Amino acid sequence: MHRLLAALTLCATVAFAQYTPSAGRNTPAAAYQEVRDQKTGEVTLRKDETAKVVKDGHGNASGNQYDLAVDGAFDGQTVLILDQVGNTLANTRTALREKGLNTVIYPSGATPSPAELKKALAKSCQLWLISTGSPLLNAEHIALIKAFFDAGHGVYIWGDNEPLYADANILASALVPGLRMEGNLAGNQVVGIADGSAKVGLRAGHLITTGLEHLYEGTSIATVQFTRPDGRNPALFDGGERSAARAPKLPEGFTSLLYGSAGNLVTVAYEKDGKRLMMDGGFTRLAVSWDDAGTARYVKNAAAWLVHPERFKETVAKK
């Protein structure tokens, strides 16, 4: 059980014991210390009026107390990961474990049968797909994941530069028709908070971007789209001219989280009808230049959001 001190006041929209006082703030409003009871393991956050928020070398607030969720918030919950690529997920697993989240990973070359996937989903609070360039999931797999998603459980769809979005696009279109990714644009930059005019940077004020003022975008990356492909779109590849396709209009339910340095929509969050989904065109962030900058916090925040404690408070948000 994790409680914030009664003296802390949280906005009603994020007033869950699992969330920190910084929830929804890219820049923390005040300095806090995370204190763990050595006997019970209970975590509390104490406001320190005399201290300033310490920044790390990338300009993000330093310390887990500035993540979206307190450490250990989701003890006993499991993130199911279909890793079709095989890049190391050691850092990802360690980061998620800080929030109490266990991980079950089906590695590259070990796609579960539909029957096995059904059993695994029944024990999981969310599913991540890290897509490779050839389809490995069949219609039965997709139907099981859609039922999981329709029941309100979070889904994170990761792809990367062409062609590493085969199953990502098949699954995305099944969950939210029209959603897909395409392209291959150079990244390898750290971006700040988008200022509202330039289509580069992080979304300000979203729960997933809590505590993040800077984020590494990944190496070469794909671009999120919302329409069926009409041939190859040169604007989404290196050498193509920038166009509106790199920053497409967001349909209802979608929020941009990250526009890359090429002005392309890399990551979106979807929340509608009690469902939550994320789609990301830069899975290299999980393995290349880890935490340069902010990747660990971003991953923890995304997983905490996809737990969907606001909806599943009886099972994953015990106060």
On whether the CB atoms of residues 102 and 86 are closer than 8 A, the answer is no
Q: List, in order of start, the domains of the chain with CATH numbers.
A: 78-315 (3.40.50.880)
The reported pTM is 0.92
Q: What pLDDT does 197 receive?
A: 63
Cα separations (Å) of 228 from 37, 225, 250?
Answer: 53, 8, 14
Q: What pLDDT does 16 receive?
A: 66
Q: What pLDDT does 8 receive?
A: 38
Identity of the amino acid at 124: S
Q: What pLDDT does 44 receive?
A: 79
Q: What pLDDT does 316 receive?
A: 76
Per-residue pLDDT of the chain (319 residues; tens, 9 = 90+): 343 332 333 333 344 678 999 999 999 988 988 787 888 877 778 888 888 999 999 999 999 999 999 999 999 999 999 999 998 999 999 999 999 999 999 999 999 999 999 999 999 999 999 999 999 999 999 999 999 999 999 999 999 999 999 999 999 999 999 999 999 999 999 999 998 666 899 999 999 999 999 999 999 999 999 998 989 999 999 999 989 999 999 999 999 999 999 999 999 999 999 999 999 999 999 998 888 789 999 999 999 999 998 888 777 755 4
Residue 66's nearest CA partner among 304, 258, 310 is 304
